[in-house]
Chain A
Protein backbone atom coordinates (compact mmCIF):
# COMPACT_ATOMS: atom_id res chain seq x y z
CA UNK A 1 0.00 0.00 0.00
CA UNK A 2 1.31 3.45 -0.88
CA UNK A 3 1.78 5.07 2.55
CA UNK A 4 3.61 2.18 4.21
CA UNK A 5 6.20 1.61 1.61
CA UNK A 6 9.87 2.16 2.48
CA UNK A 7 12.16 3.47 -0.25
CA UNK A 8 14.26 0.58 -1.63
CA UNK A 9 16.69 2.76 -3.47
CA UNK A 10 19.56 4.42 -1.66
CA UNK A 11 19.73 8.19 -1.69
CA UNK A 12 21.21 9.11 -5.03
CA UNK A 13 23.80 11.57 -6.07
CA UNK A 14 21.59 14.15 -7.78
CA UNK A 15 22.45 15.50 -11.19
CA UNK A 16 22.05 18.97 -12.66
CA UNK A 17 20.57 19.19 -16.12
CA UNK A 18 21.05 22.14 -18.38
CA UNK A 19 19.70 22.73 -21.88
CA UNK A 20 21.37 25.52 -23.79
CA UNK A 21 19.58 27.08 -26.77
CA UNK A 22 18.36 23.81 -28.33
CA UNK A 23 17.34 24.27 -31.92
CA UNK A 24 15.73 21.65 -34.12
CA UNK A 25 13.49 21.71 -37.16
CA UNK A 26 11.74 19.03 -39.17
CA UNK A 27 11.52 19.77 -42.86
CA UNK A 28 11.99 23.51 -42.38
CA UNK A 29 9.36 23.63 -39.64
CA UNK A 30 11.03 24.73 -36.39
CA UNK A 31 10.16 22.52 -33.43
CA UNK A 32 12.71 23.72 -30.89
CA UNK A 33 13.39 27.42 -31.23
CA UNK A 34 16.37 27.92 -28.94
CA UNK A 35 15.06 26.25 -25.80
CA UNK A 36 17.09 26.81 -22.63
CA UNK A 37 16.33 25.29 -19.24
CA UNK A 38 18.20 24.64 -16.04
CA UNK A 39 17.08 21.97 -13.65
CA UNK A 40 18.78 21.86 -10.26
CA UNK A 41 19.91 18.65 -8.60
CA UNK A 42 16.97 16.91 -6.95
CA UNK A 43 14.42 19.28 -8.43
CA UNK A 44 11.14 18.18 -9.99
CA UNK A 45 10.51 20.19 -13.15
CA UNK A 46 7.35 19.92 -15.23
CA UNK A 47 7.38 20.86 -18.87
CA UNK A 48 3.98 21.94 -20.13
CA UNK A 49 2.95 22.78 -23.66
CA UNK A 50 0.19 22.15 -26.19
CA UNK A 51 0.36 19.18 -28.58
CA UNK A 52 3.34 19.60 -30.86
CA UNK A 53 5.04 22.15 -28.62
CA UNK A 54 8.26 20.12 -28.66
CA UNK A 55 8.14 18.34 -25.29
CA UNK A 56 8.93 14.85 -26.56
CA UNK A 57 11.56 16.23 -28.92
CA UNK A 58 13.23 17.86 -25.91
CA UNK A 59 13.24 14.56 -24.01
CA UNK A 60 14.75 12.79 -27.02
CA UNK A 61 17.36 15.49 -27.38
CA UNK A 62 18.47 15.01 -23.77
CA UNK A 63 19.07 11.33 -24.54
CA UNK A 64 21.12 12.22 -27.61
CA UNK A 65 18.62 10.55 -29.91
CA UNK A 66 17.86 13.61 -32.02
CA UNK A 67 20.48 15.31 -34.15
CA UNK A 68 20.15 18.97 -33.16
CA UNK A 69 20.57 21.99 -35.43
CA UNK A 70 22.17 23.78 -32.52
CA UNK A 71 22.57 23.97 -28.78
CA UNK A 72 23.89 21.71 -26.08
CA UNK A 73 22.69 19.41 -23.34
CA UNK A 74 24.84 19.37 -20.20
CA UNK A 75 24.82 17.06 -17.21
CA UNK A 76 26.59 18.46 -14.17
CA UNK A 77 28.06 21.07 -16.47
CA UNK A 78 29.53 18.62 -18.95
CA UNK A 79 28.10 18.04 -22.46
CA UNK A 80 26.21 14.74 -22.69
CA UNK A 81 28.23 13.45 -25.62
CA UNK A 82 31.34 13.57 -23.44
CA UNK A 83 29.74 11.22 -20.91
CA UNK A 84 30.21 7.50 -21.55
CA UNK A 85 27.07 6.13 -23.20
CA UNK A 86 25.79 9.69 -23.68
CA UNK A 87 25.06 9.88 -19.94
CA UNK A 88 22.17 7.47 -20.44
CA UNK A 89 23.73 5.19 -17.85
CA UNK A 90 22.29 7.38 -15.13
CA UNK A 91 19.15 8.56 -16.89
CA UNK A 92 15.89 6.67 -16.55
CA UNK A 93 13.37 7.14 -19.34
CA UNK A 94 9.60 6.73 -19.31
CA UNK A 95 8.65 7.33 -22.95
CA UNK A 96 5.35 8.82 -24.09
CA UNK A 97 4.13 5.50 -25.47
CA UNK A 98 5.01 2.30 -23.65
CA UNK A 99 7.58 0.13 -25.36
CA UNK A 100 7.76 -2.83 -23.01
CA UNK A 101 9.06 -5.99 -24.61
CA UNK A 102 5.95 -8.02 -25.58
CA UNK A 103 8.05 -11.19 -25.97
CA UNK A 104 8.57 -11.32 -22.21
CA UNK A 105 6.72 -11.42 -18.91
CA UNK A 106 6.76 -8.60 -16.38
CA UNK A 107 9.77 -9.88 -14.46
CA UNK A 108 11.63 -10.88 -17.62
CA UNK A 109 11.19 -7.34 -18.90
CA UNK A 110 13.07 -6.02 -15.90
CA UNK A 111 15.69 -8.75 -16.06
CA UNK A 112 16.43 -8.23 -19.75
CA UNK A 113 16.46 -4.46 -19.38
CA UNK A 114 18.92 -4.68 -16.50
CA UNK A 115 21.30 -6.48 -18.82
CA UNK A 116 21.38 -3.53 -21.20
CA UNK A 117 22.89 -1.57 -18.32
CA UNK A 118 25.42 -4.32 -17.70
CA UNK A 119 23.93 -5.21 -14.30
CA UNK A 120 24.61 -8.66 -12.89
CA UNK A 121 21.63 -10.99 -12.57
CA UNK A 122 22.03 -11.05 -8.79
CA UNK A 123 21.69 -7.28 -8.55
CA UNK A 124 18.78 -7.26 -10.98
CA UNK A 125 17.00 -10.03 -9.08
CA UNK A 126 17.19 -8.11 -5.84
CA UNK A 127 16.11 -4.77 -7.32
CA UNK A 128 13.36 -6.46 -9.27
CA UNK A 129 11.64 -7.61 -6.10
CA UNK A 130 11.90 -4.15 -4.60
CA UNK A 131 10.77 -2.36 -7.72
CA UNK A 132 7.76 -4.59 -8.34
CA UNK A 133 6.70 -3.79 -4.82
CA UNK A 134 7.42 -0.10 -5.40
CA UNK A 135 4.91 -0.01 -8.27
CA UNK A 136 2.53 -2.57 -6.70
CA UNK A 137 3.04 -5.24 -9.34
CA UNK A 138 4.29 -8.12 -7.17
CA UNK A 139 1.26 -10.22 -8.06
CA UNK A 140 1.73 -9.66 -11.79
CA UNK A 141 5.41 -10.69 -11.95
CA UNK A 142 4.78 -13.75 -14.12
CA UNK A 143 2.17 -12.21 -16.39
CA UNK A 144 2.80 -11.59 -20.06
CA UNK A 145 2.77 -7.92 -21.10
CA UNK A 146 -0.37 -8.42 -23.18
CA UNK A 147 -2.27 -9.31 -20.00
CA UNK A 148 -1.54 -5.96 -18.31
CA UNK A 149 -3.90 -3.01 -18.15
CA UNK A 150 -2.72 0.40 -19.34
CA UNK A 151 -2.02 1.49 -15.78
CA UNK A 152 0.00 -1.64 -15.02
CA UNK A 153 2.07 -1.16 -18.16
CA UNK A 154 2.81 2.40 -17.18
CA UNK A 155 3.88 1.34 -13.69
CA UNK A 156 6.08 -1.37 -15.13
CA UNK A 157 7.65 1.17 -17.49
CA UNK A 158 8.46 3.32 -14.46
CA UNK A 159 9.94 0.32 -12.62
CA UNK A 160 11.99 -0.49 -15.71
CA UNK A 161 13.32 3.06 -15.84
CA UNK A 162 14.56 2.66 -12.24
CA UNK A 163 16.35 -0.69 -12.61
CA UNK A 164 19.78 0.98 -12.80
CA UNK A 165 19.04 3.52 -10.05
CA UNK A 166 19.15 6.61 -12.27
CA UNK A 167 20.03 10.04 -10.95
CA UNK A 168 17.84 11.75 -13.53
CA UNK A 169 14.40 10.51 -14.46
CA UNK A 170 12.74 11.77 -17.65
CA UNK A 171 9.02 11.07 -17.81
CA UNK A 172 7.08 11.89 -20.97
CA UNK A 173 3.41 12.11 -19.97
CA UNK A 174 3.67 9.47 -17.24
CA UNK A 175 0.00 9.41 -16.33
CA UNK A 176 -1.83 10.02 -19.61
CA UNK A 177 -4.75 7.64 -20.02
CA UNK A 178 -4.67 6.33 -16.44
CA UNK A 179 -7.50 6.16 -13.94
CA UNK A 180 -7.32 8.35 -10.81
CA UNK A 181 -6.13 5.44 -8.62
CA UNK A 182 -3.19 4.66 -10.87
CA UNK A 183 -2.38 8.33 -11.26
CA UNK A 184 -2.30 8.89 -7.52
CA UNK A 185 -0.01 5.90 -7.03
CA UNK A 186 2.36 7.24 -9.67
CA UNK A 187 2.37 10.69 -8.09
CA UNK A 188 3.12 9.14 -4.72
CA UNK A 189 6.05 7.26 -6.22
CA UNK A 190 7.43 10.27 -8.01
CA UNK A 191 7.38 12.19 -4.74
CA UNK A 192 9.18 9.25 -3.07
CA UNK A 193 11.86 9.40 -5.74
CA UNK A 194 12.20 13.14 -5.42
CA UNK A 195 12.72 12.75 -1.69
CA UNK A 196 15.59 10.37 -2.40
CA UNK A 197 17.23 13.03 -4.51
CA UNK A 198 16.40 11.89 -8.03
CA UNK A 199 16.18 14.84 -10.41
CA UNK A 200 12.85 14.66 -12.24
CA UNK A 201 11.82 16.15 -15.55
CA UNK A 202 8.28 15.36 -16.58
CA UNK A 203 6.00 16.50 -19.34
CA UNK A 204 2.27 16.48 -18.84
CA UNK A 205 -1.06 17.73 -20.08
CA UNK A 206 -2.58 17.41 -16.60
CA UNK A 207 -1.96 20.79 -15.12
CA UNK A 208 -3.11 19.49 -11.80
CA UNK A 209 -0.29 16.95 -11.98
CA UNK A 210 2.26 19.69 -12.52
CA UNK A 211 0.72 21.75 -9.73
CA UNK A 212 0.97 18.87 -7.28
CA UNK A 213 4.38 17.48 -8.16
CA UNK A 214 6.59 20.14 -9.60
CA UNK A 215 8.88 22.54 -7.81
CA UNK A 216 8.98 24.52 -11.02
CA UNK A 217 6.94 24.55 -14.17
CA UNK A 218 8.05 25.60 -17.64
CA UNK A 219 5.40 26.40 -20.21
CA UNK A 220 6.65 26.00 -23.76
CA UNK A 221 5.14 26.56 -27.15
CA UNK A 222 6.82 26.25 -30.54
CA UNK A 223 9.90 25.01 -28.71
CA UNK A 224 10.32 28.26 -26.78
CA UNK A 225 9.93 28.92 -23.08
CA UNK A 226 6.97 31.25 -22.42
CA UNK A 227 7.06 31.28 -18.64
CA UNK A 228 8.84 29.48 -15.84
CA UNK A 229 8.34 29.52 -12.10
CA UNK A 230 6.80 27.64 -9.20
CA UNK A 231 3.12 26.80 -9.84
CA UNK A 232 1.95 29.24 -7.16
CA UNK A 233 4.12 32.06 -8.45
CA UNK A 234 2.98 31.48 -12.04
CA UNK A 235 -0.65 31.72 -11.00
CA UNK A 236 0.01 34.82 -8.94
CA UNK A 237 1.90 36.56 -11.73
CA UNK A 238 -0.44 35.76 -14.57
CA UNK A 239 -3.89 35.56 -12.99
CA UNK A 240 -4.89 38.48 -10.81
CA UNK A 241 -6.94 36.95 -8.00
CA UNK A 242 -9.98 34.72 -8.30
CA UNK A 243 -11.86 33.55 -11.37
CA UNK A 244 -15.54 33.87 -12.23
CA UNK A 245 -16.97 31.92 -15.16
CA UNK A 246 -20.15 33.46 -16.58
CA UNK A 247 -22.37 31.48 -18.96
CA UNK A 248 -25.91 32.01 -20.28
CA UNK A 249 -28.39 29.15 -20.40
CA UNK A 250 -29.46 30.09 -23.92
CA UNK A 251 -25.83 29.91 -25.11
CA UNK A 252 -25.72 33.59 -26.13
CA UNK A 253 -22.58 35.56 -25.14
CA UNK A 254 -23.04 36.93 -21.59
CA UNK A 255 -22.87 40.64 -20.88
CA UNK A 256 -22.84 41.77 -24.52
CA UNK A 257 -22.70 45.42 -23.47
CA UNK A 258 -19.34 44.94 -21.76
CA UNK A 259 -20.50 46.24 -18.36
CA UNK A 260 -17.90 44.07 -16.62
CA UNK A 261 -14.93 45.83 -18.18
CA UNK A 262 -14.69 48.55 -15.58
CA UNK A 263 -15.21 46.11 -12.72
CA UNK A 264 -12.49 43.45 -13.14
CA UNK A 265 -8.72 43.25 -13.51
CA UNK A 266 -8.90 41.16 -16.69
CA UNK A 267 -11.46 39.32 -18.74
CA UNK A 268 -11.57 36.89 -21.61
CA UNK A 269 -14.24 35.43 -23.88
CA UNK A 270 -13.97 31.73 -24.72
CA UNK A 271 -16.89 30.38 -26.76
CA UNK A 272 -20.08 30.78 -24.72
CA UNK A 273 -18.14 31.64 -21.57
CA UNK A 274 -16.99 34.93 -20.18
CA UNK A 275 -14.01 34.57 -17.83
CA UNK A 276 -13.48 37.33 -15.30
CA UNK A 277 -10.38 37.77 -13.16
CA UNK A 278 -9.85 40.05 -10.22
CA UNK A 279 -8.82 40.28 -6.57
CA UNK A 280 -12.42 40.74 -5.40
CA UNK A 281 -15.31 39.81 -7.64
CA UNK A 282 -18.15 39.95 -5.08
CA UNK A 283 -19.77 43.05 -6.62
CA UNK A 284 -19.68 41.41 -10.06
CA UNK A 285 -21.23 38.25 -8.67
CA UNK A 286 -24.07 40.21 -7.12
CA UNK A 287 -24.67 42.06 -10.40
CA UNK A 288 -24.95 38.87 -12.50
CA UNK A 289 -26.88 36.93 -9.85
CA UNK A 290 -29.84 39.19 -10.58
CA UNK A 291 -30.20 37.71 -14.09
CA UNK A 292 -32.05 34.35 -13.96
CA UNK A 293 -30.60 33.32 -17.34
CA UNK A 294 -26.99 33.50 -16.13
CA UNK A 295 -25.03 30.67 -14.54
CA UNK A 296 -21.99 31.55 -12.44
CA UNK A 297 -19.00 29.48 -11.40
CA UNK A 298 -16.66 31.00 -8.86
CA UNK A 299 -13.31 29.31 -8.37
CA UNK A 300 -9.64 29.65 -7.51
CA UNK A 301 -7.24 30.40 -10.34
CA UNK A 302 -5.35 27.31 -11.51
CA UNK A 303 -2.33 26.57 -13.61
CA UNK A 304 -4.74 25.75 -16.41
CA UNK A 305 -5.83 29.38 -16.53
CA UNK A 306 -2.19 30.43 -16.85
CA UNK A 307 -1.59 27.81 -19.52
CA UNK A 308 -4.57 28.87 -21.61
CA UNK A 309 -3.79 32.55 -21.30
CA UNK A 310 -0.19 32.01 -22.41
CA UNK A 311 -0.71 29.48 -25.19
CA UNK A 312 -4.13 30.59 -26.47
CA UNK A 313 -7.29 28.56 -26.86
CA UNK A 314 -7.05 27.29 -30.42
CA UNK A 315 -6.65 23.59 -31.10
CA UNK A 316 -3.15 22.54 -32.10
CA UNK A 317 -3.21 19.32 -34.08
CA UNK A 318 -4.39 20.98 -37.29
CA UNK A 319 -1.60 23.50 -37.58
CA UNK A 320 1.12 20.93 -38.14
CA UNK A 321 2.22 20.69 -41.76
Chain B
Protein backbone atom coordinates (compact mmCIF):
# COMPACT_ATOMS: atom_id res chain seq x y z
CA UNK B 1 0.00 0.00 0.00
CA UNK B 2 1.90 3.04 -1.23
CA UNK B 3 1.22 6.03 -3.38
CA UNK B 4 3.81 4.93 -5.95
CA UNK B 5 1.35 3.51 -8.41
CA UNK B 6 2.04 5.18 -11.75
CA UNK B 7 3.44 3.01 -14.53
CA UNK B 8 4.36 5.77 -16.93
CA UNK B 9 6.67 8.71 -16.42
CA UNK B 10 5.22 12.19 -16.23
CA UNK B 11 6.75 15.64 -16.47
CA UNK B 12 9.02 14.85 -13.55
CA UNK B 13 11.13 12.74 -15.90
CA UNK B 14 12.15 15.94 -17.67
CA UNK B 15 13.31 17.44 -14.35
CA UNK B 16 15.66 14.49 -13.82
CA UNK B 17 16.78 14.61 -17.45
CA UNK B 18 17.69 18.26 -17.06
CA UNK B 19 19.48 17.54 -13.77
CA UNK B 20 21.70 15.01 -15.51
CA UNK B 21 22.22 17.37 -18.41
CA UNK B 22 23.41 20.13 -16.04
CA UNK B 23 25.95 17.79 -14.48
CA UNK B 24 27.16 16.72 -17.92
CA UNK B 25 27.54 20.34 -19.01
CA UNK B 26 29.96 20.92 -16.15
CA UNK B 27 32.27 18.26 -17.53
CA UNK B 28 31.63 19.07 -21.14
CA UNK B 29 35.20 19.19 -22.41
CA UNK B 30 36.58 15.90 -21.08
CA UNK B 31 33.32 14.20 -21.92
CA UNK B 32 33.28 15.37 -25.53
CA UNK B 33 36.98 14.61 -25.85
CA UNK B 34 36.17 10.98 -25.07
CA UNK B 35 33.23 11.03 -27.47
CA UNK B 36 35.37 12.29 -30.34
CA UNK B 37 38.73 10.78 -29.42
CA UNK B 38 37.73 7.13 -29.05
CA UNK B 39 36.04 6.70 -32.43
CA UNK B 40 38.90 8.53 -34.11
CA UNK B 41 41.32 5.97 -32.69
CA UNK B 42 39.09 3.06 -33.69
CA UNK B 43 38.60 4.35 -37.21
CA UNK B 44 42.31 4.99 -37.70
CA UNK B 45 43.44 1.68 -36.21
CA UNK B 46 40.80 -0.59 -37.71
CA UNK B 47 39.67 1.38 -40.75
CA UNK B 48 43.15 2.07 -42.06
CA UNK B 49 45.15 -0.66 -40.35
CA UNK B 50 42.85 -3.62 -40.79
CA UNK B 51 41.10 -2.08 -43.80
CA UNK B 52 44.35 -2.18 -45.72
CA UNK B 53 44.23 -5.99 -45.69
CA UNK B 54 40.48 -6.50 -45.76
CA UNK B 55 39.76 -4.17 -48.64
CA UNK B 56 35.98 -4.33 -49.10
CA UNK B 57 33.36 -5.98 -46.93
CA UNK B 58 29.84 -6.51 -48.27
CA UNK B 59 30.91 -4.27 -51.18
CA UNK B 60 31.65 -1.36 -48.81
CA UNK B 61 35.14 0.01 -48.13
CA UNK B 62 36.11 -1.43 -44.72
CA UNK B 63 36.31 2.04 -43.20
CA UNK B 64 32.70 2.68 -44.24
CA UNK B 65 31.60 -0.76 -43.07
CA UNK B 66 33.12 -0.33 -39.69
CA UNK B 67 32.09 3.31 -39.16
CA UNK B 68 28.42 2.35 -39.02
CA UNK B 69 29.20 -0.68 -36.85
CA UNK B 70 31.14 1.40 -34.37
CA UNK B 71 28.33 3.94 -34.29
CA UNK B 72 25.97 1.17 -33.18
CA UNK B 73 28.35 -0.34 -30.63
CA UNK B 74 29.10 3.10 -29.24
CA UNK B 75 25.39 3.67 -28.55
CA UNK B 76 25.42 0.39 -26.65
CA UNK B 77 28.55 1.25 -24.67
CA UNK B 78 27.50 4.77 -23.81
CA UNK B 79 23.90 4.00 -22.86
CA UNK B 80 24.97 0.91 -20.94
CA UNK B 81 27.71 2.67 -19.01
CA UNK B 82 25.36 5.50 -18.09
CA UNK B 83 22.60 3.08 -17.10
CA UNK B 84 24.93 0.96 -14.97
CA UNK B 85 27.71 2.96 -13.35
CA UNK B 86 26.31 6.48 -13.42
CA UNK B 87 22.78 5.48 -12.45
CA UNK B 88 24.09 3.20 -9.70
CA UNK B 89 26.20 6.06 -8.35
CA UNK B 90 23.15 8.31 -8.27
CA UNK B 91 20.94 5.66 -6.69
CA UNK B 92 23.32 4.20 -4.16
CA UNK B 93 26.40 6.31 -3.48
CA UNK B 94 24.92 9.78 -3.87
CA UNK B 95 21.38 8.90 -2.71
CA UNK B 96 20.05 11.20 -5.41
CA UNK B 97 16.98 9.01 -5.92
CA UNK B 98 16.20 9.06 -2.21
CA UNK B 99 16.32 12.86 -2.28
CA UNK B 100 14.07 12.95 -5.35
CA UNK B 101 11.54 10.53 -3.90
CA UNK B 102 10.84 13.06 -1.14
CA UNK B 103 9.36 15.28 -3.88
CA UNK B 104 6.18 14.49 -5.84
CA UNK B 105 8.26 12.55 -8.39
CA UNK B 106 7.68 8.81 -8.47
CA UNK B 107 9.91 5.93 -9.42
CA UNK B 108 8.39 5.90 -12.92
CA UNK B 109 9.58 9.50 -13.38
CA UNK B 110 13.09 8.68 -12.18
CA UNK B 111 13.30 5.66 -14.46
CA UNK B 112 11.86 7.58 -17.40
CA UNK B 113 14.32 10.44 -16.87
CA UNK B 114 17.27 8.09 -16.64
CA UNK B 115 16.22 6.23 -19.79
CA UNK B 116 15.86 9.46 -21.74
CA UNK B 117 19.21 10.70 -20.48
CA UNK B 118 21.00 7.44 -21.40
CA UNK B 119 19.48 7.63 -24.88
CA UNK B 120 20.54 11.27 -25.23
CA UNK B 121 24.09 10.31 -24.29
CA UNK B 122 24.00 7.46 -26.80
CA UNK B 123 22.85 9.96 -29.39
CA UNK B 124 25.68 12.36 -28.53
CA UNK B 125 28.31 9.64 -28.85
CA UNK B 126 26.80 8.40 -32.12
CA UNK B 127 26.77 11.93 -33.53
CA UNK B 128 30.41 12.36 -32.59
CA UNK B 129 31.32 9.23 -34.53
CA UNK B 130 29.21 10.26 -37.49
CA UNK B 131 31.00 13.62 -37.57
CA UNK B 132 34.45 12.05 -37.31
CA UNK B 133 33.71 9.31 -39.83
CA UNK B 134 32.25 11.86 -42.23
CA UNK B 135 35.72 13.43 -42.21
CA UNK B 136 36.97 10.16 -43.67
CA UNK B 137 34.14 10.12 -46.19
CA UNK B 138 32.77 7.01 -44.50
CA UNK B 139 29.18 8.21 -43.84
CA UNK B 140 26.36 9.14 -46.14
CA UNK B 141 24.06 11.85 -44.73
CA UNK B 142 21.22 10.98 -47.05
CA UNK B 143 19.11 9.05 -44.52
CA UNK B 144 20.62 10.59 -41.43
CA UNK B 145 17.27 12.03 -40.38
CA UNK B 146 15.96 8.45 -40.23
CA UNK B 147 19.08 7.18 -38.49
CA UNK B 148 18.73 9.62 -35.57
CA UNK B 149 15.45 8.26 -34.17
CA UNK B 150 16.80 4.72 -34.64
CA UNK B 151 19.88 5.69 -32.65
CA UNK B 152 17.66 7.11 -29.92
CA UNK B 153 15.52 3.97 -29.81
CA UNK B 154 18.62 1.76 -29.65
CA UNK B 155 19.88 3.89 -26.76
CA UNK B 156 16.57 3.38 -24.93
CA UNK B 157 16.74 -0.39 -25.28
CA UNK B 158 20.35 -0.72 -24.10
CA UNK B 159 19.61 1.63 -21.21
CA UNK B 160 16.48 -0.28 -20.19
CA UNK B 161 18.46 -3.52 -19.97
CA UNK B 162 21.29 -1.83 -18.07
CA UNK B 163 18.89 -0.27 -15.56
CA UNK B 164 17.49 -3.72 -14.72
CA UNK B 165 20.98 -4.75 -13.62
CA UNK B 166 21.45 -1.51 -11.72
CA UNK B 167 18.22 -2.10 -9.83
CA UNK B 168 19.53 -5.39 -8.41
CA UNK B 169 23.24 -4.52 -8.09
CA UNK B 170 24.80 -4.50 -4.62
CA UNK B 171 28.14 -3.10 -5.83
CA UNK B 172 29.91 -1.98 -9.00
CA UNK B 173 31.56 -5.41 -9.29
CA UNK B 174 28.22 -6.96 -10.15
CA UNK B 175 28.28 -5.15 -13.51
CA UNK B 176 31.24 -7.25 -14.67
CA UNK B 177 28.82 -10.16 -15.18
CA UNK B 178 26.79 -8.16 -17.62
CA UNK B 179 29.86 -6.85 -19.40
CA UNK B 180 31.46 -10.27 -19.77
CA UNK B 181 28.28 -12.15 -20.59
CA UNK B 182 26.37 -9.42 -22.42
CA UNK B 183 28.15 -6.35 -23.67
CA UNK B 184 31.45 -7.88 -24.84
CA UNK B 185 29.84 -10.81 -26.72
CA UNK B 186 27.47 -8.36 -28.42
CA UNK B 187 30.39 -6.14 -29.37
CA UNK B 188 32.18 -9.11 -30.96
CA UNK B 189 29.34 -11.17 -32.46
CA UNK B 190 26.62 -8.78 -33.54
CA UNK B 191 27.96 -7.58 -36.86
CA UNK B 192 30.05 -4.60 -35.81
CA UNK B 193 33.27 -5.88 -37.42
CA UNK B 194 31.94 -8.41 -39.97
CA UNK B 195 28.49 -9.46 -41.23
CA UNK B 196 26.78 -12.01 -38.99
CA UNK B 197 26.00 -14.40 -41.86
CA UNK B 198 29.64 -15.51 -41.69
CA UNK B 199 28.98 -16.97 -38.23
CA UNK B 200 28.17 -20.69 -37.77
CA UNK B 201 24.43 -21.24 -37.56
CA UNK B 202 23.87 -21.68 -33.78
CA UNK B 203 25.98 -18.62 -33.01
CA UNK B 204 24.15 -16.63 -35.67
CA UNK B 205 20.81 -17.59 -34.16
CA UNK B 206 21.91 -16.35 -30.77
CA UNK B 207 23.19 -13.13 -32.36
CA UNK B 208 19.77 -12.64 -33.95
CA UNK B 209 18.01 -12.26 -30.61
CA UNK B 210 20.47 -9.64 -29.32
CA UNK B 211 19.59 -5.96 -29.63
CA UNK B 212 22.94 -4.83 -31.04
CA UNK B 213 22.47 -7.03 -34.12
CA UNK B 214 19.27 -5.20 -34.95
CA UNK B 215 20.79 -1.80 -34.30
CA UNK B 216 23.61 -2.66 -36.73
CA UNK B 217 21.20 -4.05 -39.34
CA UNK B 218 19.26 -0.79 -39.25
CA UNK B 219 22.12 1.68 -38.98
CA UNK B 220 24.59 0.21 -41.48
CA UNK B 221 22.29 0.74 -44.45
CA UNK B 222 20.94 4.06 -43.14
CA UNK B 223 24.43 5.48 -42.65
CA UNK B 224 25.68 4.28 -46.02
CA UNK B 225 22.86 5.76 -48.07
CA UNK B 226 20.45 2.80 -48.29
CA UNK B 227 17.14 1.94 -46.69
CA UNK B 228 17.34 -1.16 -44.47
CA UNK B 229 15.46 -4.32 -45.48
CA UNK B 230 13.14 -5.81 -42.80
CA UNK B 231 13.27 -2.54 -40.88
CA UNK B 232 9.95 -3.32 -39.15
CA UNK B 233 11.30 -6.45 -37.47
CA UNK B 234 14.45 -4.72 -36.27
CA UNK B 235 12.49 -1.80 -34.90
CA UNK B 236 10.14 -4.20 -33.17
CA UNK B 237 13.02 -6.03 -31.47
CA UNK B 238 14.62 -2.80 -30.26
CA UNK B 239 11.25 -1.44 -29.12
CA UNK B 240 10.51 -4.74 -27.40
CA UNK B 241 13.75 -4.63 -25.42
CA UNK B 242 13.07 -1.02 -24.46
CA UNK B 243 9.50 -1.76 -23.37
CA UNK B 244 10.14 -5.03 -21.55
CA UNK B 245 13.29 -3.60 -19.96
CA UNK B 246 11.36 -0.58 -18.74
CA UNK B 247 8.59 -2.64 -17.15
CA UNK B 248 11.04 -5.03 -15.50
CA UNK B 249 13.31 -2.20 -14.30
CA UNK B 250 10.30 -0.37 -12.84
CA UNK B 251 9.30 -3.43 -10.81
CA UNK B 252 12.87 -4.01 -9.67
CA UNK B 253 13.39 -0.37 -8.70
CA UNK B 254 10.14 -0.38 -6.72
CA UNK B 255 11.28 -3.46 -4.85
CA UNK B 256 14.65 -1.84 -4.20
CA UNK B 257 13.63 1.68 -3.24
CA UNK B 258 10.29 1.19 -1.49
CA UNK B 259 11.22 -0.83 1.56
Using CB atoms and an 8 Å cutoff, list the residues of chain A in contact with chain B: 26, 63-68, 80-81, 83-89, 91, 93, 95, 97, 99-104, 108, 112-113, 115-118, 161, 164
B12 at the interface (CB under 8 A from A): yes
Is the Cβ of A100 less than 8 Å from the Cβ of B99?
A: yes
Residues of B within 8 A of A68 (CB): 1-2
Contact bitstring B182-217, A, C-beta under 8 A = 1, else 0: 000000000000000000000000000000000000
Q: Which residues does chain A contribute within 8 Å of B19, judged by CB atoms? A: 101, 112, 115
Tell whether A101 pairs with B96 under 8 Å between CB atoms, given A65-B101, A117-B103. Answer: yes
Shortest Cβ distance from A193 into chain B, in angstroms? Answer: 17
Binary CB contact string for chain B from 2 to 13 against chain A (1 if under 8 A, 0 otherwise): 111100000110
Q: Which chain B residue shows the least CB distance to A170?
A: B102
Q: A81-B1, A99-B99, A113-B103 are in contact. Are A118 and B22 (CB under 8 A)?
A: no
The answer to whether B104 and A85 have CB atoms under 8 Å apart is yes
A80-B3 contact, Cβ under 8 Å, with A63-B101, A85-B104: yes
- From known contacts A103-B23, A115-B19, infer whether A81 and B99 are also in contact, taking CB-CB under 8 Å: no
Q: Tell me how far the C-beta of A25 lies from the nearest C-beta in chain B, rounded to whole angstroms.
A: 12
Report whether A86 and B4 are in contact in the complex, using a CB–CB cutoff of 8 Å: yes
Collect the chain A residues with CB atoms within 8 Å of residue B96's CB.
Answer: 99, 101
Q: List 21 A-B contacts (CB under 8 A).
A: A64-B2, A67-B1, A67-B258, A68-B1, A80-B3, A81-B2, A81-B3, A81-B5, A86-B3, A86-B104, A88-B104, A91-B102, A95-B102, A99-B98, A113-B103, A115-B15, A115-B18, A116-B16, A116-B104, A117-B103, A118-B104
B31 interface residue per 8 A CB criterion: no
- Number of residue pairs across A and B with beta carbons under 8 Å? 88
Whether a CB of chain A sits under 8 angstroms from the CB of B134 is: no
Q: Are A84 and B259 in contact (CB under 8 A)?
A: no
**B147, CB-defined interface residue at 8 Å:** no
Q: Flag if B95 contacts A99 (CB, 8 Å).
A: yes
A116 contacts B258, CB within 8 Å? no
Alpha-carbon distance between A93 and B19 when the two chains are bound, in angstroms = 20
Known contacts A115-B18, A117-B104: A104-B23 contact under CB 8 Å: yes
Given the complex, which residues of B lie within 8 Å of A85, measured CB to CB?
A: 3, 103-106
Chain B nearest CB: distance from A159 CB in Å?
A: 13
Q: Which residues of chain A come closer than 8 Å to B127, judged between CB atoms?
A: none
With A65-B257, A86-B4 already in contact, 15 other A-B pairs whose C-beta atoms are closer than 8 Å? A66-B258, A81-B1, A81-B2, A84-B104, A88-B103, A91-B102, A99-B94, A102-B94, A103-B23, A103-B94, A104-B22, A112-B22, A113-B103, A115-B18, A116-B16
Which residues does chain B contribute within 8 Å of A84, judged by CB atoms?
Answer: 104
Chain A residue, CB-CB nearest to B5: A81
- B4 to A64, Cβ gap below 8 A? yes
- Least distance between A287 CB and chain B CB atoms (Å): 56
B100 close to chain A: CB less than 8 A = yes
Q: Tell me the B10-32 residues at the A interface (CB within 8 Å).
A: 11-12, 15-16, 18-19, 22-23, 26
Scan residues 73-110 of chain B and give those whose CB is less than 8 A from a CB of chain A: 94-96, 98-106
| B contact residues around A99 at 8 Å (CB) | 94-96, 98-99
A81 to B6, CA, bound (A): 11
State the CA gap A118–B15 with chains docked (Å): 8
Q: Which of B15, B16, B22, B102 contacts A63 (CB 8 A)?
A: B102
